[in-house]
Structures are given as C-alpha cells and as structure tokens.
A and B are shown apart, each in its own frame.
Chain A
Amino acid sequence: MGHEPDFKINHPDFEAFNKRLERRDFLKKTAGGFGALALGTLLSGSISSKTFEQQILEALPTIAPKAKRVLYLFMSGGPSQFETFDYKPMLSSMLGQGLPESVRNGQRLTGMSANQAILPIAPSFCDFKQYGKSRTWVSDLLPYTAQVVDELCIIKSMYTEQINHDPALTFFQTGHQLPGRPSIGSWLSYGLGSENKNLPAFIVLVSKNASRDQPLYARLWGNGFLPSQHQGVQFRSGNDPVLFLNNPEGYDGKDRKEMLSYLTKLNEMQNDVWGDPEVEARMSQYELAFRMQTSVPDVMDTANEPDEVFELYGPDSRDKGTYAANCILARKLLEKDVRFVQLYHQGWDHHGSLPQGIKQQCKQTDQPTAALIMDLKRRGMLEDTLVIWGGEFGRTVYSQGKLDKENYGRDHHPRCFTMWMAGAGVKPGITYGATDDFSYNIIKNPVHVHDFQATLLDIMGLNHEQLVYKYQGRRFRLTDVSGTVIKDILT
C-alpha cells in the first residue's frame, strides 16, 4: 500500500505539534536528568508517543484535489427558488387556491404560518426563459446569471432539516444546528493548511448594502474546537479592513517588530512550560497579523483595477463594501491563493412584499456574481476554484399574509431549495435533481446539506469521513455521521 508515514505527516499543524513535543521532551531531559524525565512520564501516565491526529492523518487516503480554492457566496435569509431557478409554470393558473393536502401531507409548518386558515398558492410574479446551450430556465430577475448559465451546475433538490434562520445557517456552515463546531472554511484550513502564508486561509466579507433582516454572527466563521488560527477572518469594508492591524500612533514598523519579537519570546517560554495549543495559536496569529500589515493593504486596494473591471461587475462595484465590490476583492484574494473566501449577502428573508424585496436583492447580486464567474474564467482560475451560490433554505409555494398577483410573501421552506456550484470539479451546464409541481417535495435526487458538504470536501481532495478532530472524547467531522458525495455532478 502506498501509505508512507514519513510523508503523510507533512501538514504544518502536525509538524508544529511534533516539534513542540520534541522541544518539551528535550528540555525536561536536560533540565532534570534521567530521573526527572522518568518521573515526569510516570506521573503523566502517557506512554504512546504518537498523537491521535497523527494516526488519523497517516491513514487519510488523499484524493487528488480538483479545486485548490473555494468561493462561497452565501445568500443569507433563504432566497426563493420560485423567483430564481425553479420554474413552476403550472402554478400561474392557481393564484389563491389552497395548497392540496396531498402535497403537504401533514408536514410541519413554521410558527409564522401554521395558524393561517388556508395556504393560498402564490405563483411567481416573474417570467422565465431558457438560456445557454443547456437551455436552462432562469428568471427574468437574473439577466446576467442567465448569460453564464452554461458554467453553472444547478442543484434544485437541496434540503435541510432546519426551519429557522440561525440553526439552518449554523447547520450549513458547521454541519450541526447548535453552535460550537468549526465552520467549513476552518475545516479546510485545518485539513489543507494555508497556501499564502501572508494572508489567512479563511477570509469572510459581508455586504454593507444588504438589508440586514436576519443577523449574522462571527461564530458562523468560527473555528469551534479547532485551534484558533483556523478561524475565519472578517475583512471589513472601508479604510481599516482588519481592525487594529495598523500600527498605533507613535509606533513605526521597527518598534512594532521589536515589541512582537520580545512578546514571542515570552510566549515561547510559556508554551514550553504548558504546551497549550492556544499559546501556539496566539503566536502564529501575531506573526500572521504582522505579515498582514503589508499584504492586506495591497490586496484590498482596488484603485489599480482598470475601468473595464468595474464595468463588468456593475455600478455598485466602485462603492467599497457593497456585494459587487466584495466580489472584486474576492477575486483578488483568490488570485493570492487564499484557500476559502466567503461572502455573505443578507436580505433574502421575504415573508412579505417578496416581489419588491427580491428585485432589489437580485439587482445587487446578479451582475457581480455573473461577472465573477467570467472574470475567474478568463484568468484561468475557474478551473481550480469552486464557486458556490446559495442560502440556508428555500421558500414556500403558498403566500404568507396578503396575496395578490404582484404582492405576496413566502415562508421558510427547508424541504427543497436551489443552489448552484461552478468551476473546479463540477460539471458545467447541468441541472441536478427535481421538485414536484409545487416545489414542495423533492421528486428526484435529493441532496442533503451533509451531502453538499461531503461533495465540497471531496472536490478539495479530502474524505469527509476521515477528516476528523478528537474533542471531548469523541471524533467530530464536518458531516457529523452522514453525508454522501454526489458523484453525478462531479467531473
């Protein structure tokens, strides 16, 4: 078998961990002599020299990665599938009719619409047309995405168990509905490390121009129980993308460096005594922060981008912090080999006045998203970057509250919704899975959130069942205890 232990332990984390163990052992040996060493090991009772993580890593069968980077465009709030990709022409004649009981079949509703006397069907207010060589149906609200539809792999049969925003978001990002586990980007940082050592492996950008109907929490890009250098770093819009990164007033670069090197010495002493991984994490974060003082302003500066780029990404793109401007930044970060970039755009939670709301959302995101695909493509980056677009759940076929042809609302619907992926590892120009005539139930090829996560890891060259971390006595994985790689959509 091709398992070479000496090579498999090449992950930076484990190397660091190894070194620390060696250094501690060495110190003990020289400081206290043989007897002290013997006593130290006797008392600690630990005999096995290989850590659990090392053993795991040795047994990890690596899959040749198809993608080197991920760009995740998270449409927070739950975009409606009826007004975007899931075309349901039959509904147009059913305005206001009650949803047949045979469709819902007693499935649970949210507390927000469970008390409604009837569940009146709300047909989509927008038209759909077929686009591209793949003749894919796309709504009129996404005229730009429609032009790049041959690059997309649209999954219409996503489903989740979570019916409200926070658990659903947490579930999507961490594989579990309760907070406390590492986010996808943190898992990738842990499993694959960082390519560009001057920038974090996991960077988050949040649109400033979205209507913030549902909150986002930093724990969504948190490291959970993984060492904290794997947490996502949020880059803010404006002049100070990373808070407190610039030198305080009165300091120059040399002062700062000197101060940090003394601090490192102190931290190293502490680390030698305690060996707490968090001390190491803190040291690596300080070092990274220092390197970021030069790398971040460079990458965040879009002044040198030609006009043609701003035209491609649309009018918002000159306004820092908007979704469009973040898309340009995302591309620049990916060019610098950042492993995982995640954009959040809030405001898709349309319980009422959906037509008005979703028009606004699509206007803000449609052109930049499509531009990003084409921009990556012409730079030769789409072949090793996986792009993902989607929310945490879908929306119901029936209207919540007032219903007329041009004004209605839709409630949360976890049983089916649409996402798309594009770029490295996925087949372009295909549609996977299908829903019934009411986009209420999945009739073909259901894809669970864990299946999606397993597929994502597979494309990045990791086996979701074997990327584990032992914490509080058990092994944790991103996909918890389920998840199947959707081979049909892979190239």
Chain B
Amino acid sequence: MMQFIGHLHPVIVHLPIGILLLGAFLMIYQGKHDNKYDQIISLAFLLGSSSAVLACITGWLLAQSGEYDEVILQKHQWIGIVTAIIGWSCYLIEKYRKILVVVLVVLLILAGHFGSTLTHGENYLFSTNKKEEPVVEKKNDTTKKITPQIILNGKDSISIVRSNIYKEEIKPLLQTRCISCHGSLKQKGGLRLDNESFIKKGGKNGLVLVAGDLSKSIMYTNMLLPLEDEKHMPPKGKHQLSATEIAIIKKWIVNGASFEDKVDTVKNTHKVIRTDSVAKMIPKKEDKGIQPAKSIAKTIMPNPVKKEVFEFFKNKNVLITPTGENATYVMANFVNDIPFNNNDINDLKIIKEQLTVLKLSNLPIKDIDIKIIADFKNITKLNLENTAITDESITYLKQLPKLEQLNLYGTNITDESLKQLSLYKNLAVLYLWKTKVTQLGVESFMKIKPNVKVEIGNFKFQQK
C-alpha cells in the first residue's frame, strides 16, 4: 500500500508546480495597483502548497525503494520540502509575498530539475537525441529455446541441454541497462552494445571485452569503479546494476564470453554439476524438446529447501546446511540437538528429497530409527559411528540406492552386515573400526567389492 502511494509521486508532483506557478503568474498579471485577483492568488497558494506537502510525503515513500542515487535524492528531497514551506509562507504572510514568490519559483525549478535528473539521468536535459526508449527486440525469442534431452541407461540418465548465456542472460541485461546510451540511437564513446559484432569491436578507446580476461574487459571493470568516478558505468544517476547482475557478467567473461549456443551433457545423479545457466536446465513445460517422464524430472533435481524450512529446523536445533550452490541438496547434523529426541529424525521427512548427507554420530539412535532413514532416497553419505545400531539397520539401508559413504565405526555390526553391504551398488567408502567384523569377513567382502575403500583402523606405528 505504502509503495503504491509512493508510486503516485510523479503524478502529484505536477500539481504544486502548476498551481504555485499559476499563483506567481497571476501576481504578475495583476500588476501593481489592482487587487481584484488577491483572493484567487491566495487560494492558488493554499492549494499549491497543500499539494506540495502531499508531494513531499509521496516522494518520501517512493525514495524508500532505494532505487535512486542518494546524493541527488537528498538535494531533491530537501529542496522539495523547503518549496512546500515557502509555499505556505506565501499563503500566510501576504506582506512579503512578492519576495517569497521569487524564491518559490527558483526553488520550484531546482526541485523539478533534480527530480527529472533522478528519473531521466544526468544528461537528459541537454542531450540531442529525442527518443531514448530502449529498443526491445522481440523476434529473437526463438533463440531462447532449450532442448533438454534425456537419455536413460539404467540408474543414471543424461540430459543434453542447449543454452546460450549471451542471449539468455547478458543481452537482456545490456538491453535494459546499457543500450540507451550505447545502442543504435546513441553511441557514447563510439560504443554499441546491442549485438555481438559491435560488442567485439569496442569503442573509440579500444576493446571493451576480452574473453576470459576480466582485468582487460573495460565493460566489466568500469562497473566496479566507485560511483563518483566519471568512468563508472552506468553513470551516476542512472539505474545501477545489482551485485548479482555484475556477478553474472563476470562469470560470462571468465568463462570465455561466448555468444554461441552451448551444449551441455548433464549426468543426472545427485552430483549435478551446475553450469552457467543451470536454472534453465530444469525442463520447463513450454519446452518443445523430448519430455522426460514426470517421475524422472523429479529425481533430476528436487525443489530447493525453502527459507521457512531452514527456520523450522533452526528452531529445533537441527543444523541444515546446503551442500553446494543453491539449497537443492542439504546435509543434516544433530550436534546441537541436546537432549536428543528420537522423534526429531521424523522431521527430516520434510526434506527427504533434498537430504544427501546425514550425520547421526554419537546419538542414542536404534535400529528402529534407521528404518525411517531408509526412506530418504537421495542420501549419499551417512554417519552412524558410535551408535547402538546392529546388523538389522544394515538391511534397512539397502534401500538407499545412492549411498556412497557409510561410517559404522564403534557400532555392533558383524560380518552379517558385510554380506548385506556387498549388495550395495554405489558404496565407495566404508568405516569399520571398532566393530565386530572379523578379518575374514572383511577379506571376503573385499573380494566381492574390490573398489570399496574399507577403513578398519588397524594402523599401528612401527616403533623405532
């Protein structure tokens, strides 16, 4: 609501300008001797200064958005407020009205000037180009198509994703932030940024983009200069790029500033490596490419964990941290959950799709708790060391298709578990120190699973 009122500022602000100027104009028109318009003049100042107060309030609300240059904003704000005060003085103090009205007109012009600088930019007033509308090209929508293709071979699948970082990310950014001065209508510094060849050509001072080299890419380095620097882009007073937008451009340049389509193959295990336009990799409904079955699409990537969910676990003293960029996959740790309540494991069901690493070390958990965990299909690493679990747990965990690392040191498992573990498909690392497994059991396990790294903790120093 407040925001909406703020947005009315550009409308309301013209009322005091018009009405107060009318008052001033009537005073000149009336001349020295006649006084038949006095009442109308007073009314104009009353209405004008009232609307000026309204403009101040709406303007202040609009400023809260933080989108404007602070220094100019301060000037505009204070001049606006003083204008309103002088307006009221004109209405109330008839004796000095003639002097006050001169001050008022000057202030009105100044306030108006700074206001327009805020919306149109610093060079608007004396610029030669009449039209400054950014040219929005609709026709290259077709290039934005991404074709995900899923190839399935048993447990994993591979998607082929066609993407174009320049067209999807960079071009829209340049369109909105740069083209008004560096485009077809205006070429400040001889530079155009509206298509590939112009960007590569650079401006009259040379190249602005060197693929892979940030320090030589002036179009990037100029964005980092302090706002006060005359070379800072976009110039002071214009809408600035956000830190995220700058990061996008940085990443693009570092990765070779490619204008071409890029074909990625993505192996759809939990270890999806995020490339530049990963957000686009998640197949969308509109895409005309080969549609994966719904269930497969789901296993490719679950939804990121929501902030409220993080908050929920935080209040329960359960530590949930993302495993990488984005909160798509998370790890859970109960180190702060004191005293531990076995029911807390049940809460993990909320994030069962996203949970990949689970640490339950040194907790009073039992086999029955493991039964719940067996439902968290994306777990790759599980810490169960120093717990009271037995062979029974290992039979439940067989249901975890992606389990790679399992820490069982300090538990009561026996050779029976090793037999079960030899059926685990993706197991790669196994910790068995201080368990009841035998040398023989480990040896026969190793015969079946020669590639699993087994740590039995039998290390002893050779004494010197």
Contact = CB atoms under 8 A, between A and B. Distances in A.
Interface of A: 1-7, 10, 38, 41-42, 45, 47-50, 55-56, 58-59, 61-65, 143-144, 147, 195-198, 312, 335-337, 367, 370-371, 374, 377-380, 383, 461
21 contacts: A1-B169, A1-B248, A1-B251, A7-B307, A7-B322, A10-B307, A38-B60, A41-B64, A42-B60, A42-B77, A47-B73, A48-B70, A50-B66, A56-B243, A59-B244, A195-B319, A195-B321, A196-B336, A335-B361, A378-B459, A380-B385
Given A47-B64, A47-B66, A147-B462, A379 B326 contact: no
A335 B57 CA distance: 58
Interface in B280-305: 304
Nearest to A378: B457
Nearest to B165: A1
A62 B324 contact: yes
Contact of B243 (A42, A55, A144, A383): A55
A367 B385 contact: no
Contact of B325 (A5, A64, A367): A64
A48 B322 CA distance: 29
B257 to A, nearest CB: 15
Contact of A7 (B60, B304, B319): B304
Interface in B119-167: none
Given A2-B274, A2-B279, A370-B461, A336 B335 contact: yes
A330 to B, nearest CB: 17
Contact of B335 (A10, A195, A380): A195
A312 B461 contact: yes
A1 B335 contact: no
B407 interface: yes
B79 interface: no
Interface string B379-416: 00001010000000000000000000101010000000
- Find the residue from A38, A42, A195, A379 having the highest chain B CB count within 10 A: A379
B243 A58 contact: yes
Contact of B247 (A59, A370, A371): A59
A371 B338 CA distance: 31
A380 B455 contact: yes
B363 to A, nearest CB: 13
A198 B335 CA distance: 9
A336 B63 CA distance: 48
Given A378-B431, A379-B385, A383-B429, A64 B324 contact: yes
A301 to B, nearest CB: 15
A3 B244 contact: yes
B278 interface: yes
A380 B405 CA distance: 10
B326 A61 contact: no
A61 B244 CA distance: 10
B187 interface: no
- Find the residue from B247, B307, B429, B459 having the highest chain A CB count within 10 A: B459
Given A64-B323, A380-B405, 10 more contacts: A2-B274, A4-B326, A4-B327, A10-B310, A56-B243, A61-B325, A63-B324, A65-B323, A378-B459, A380-B429
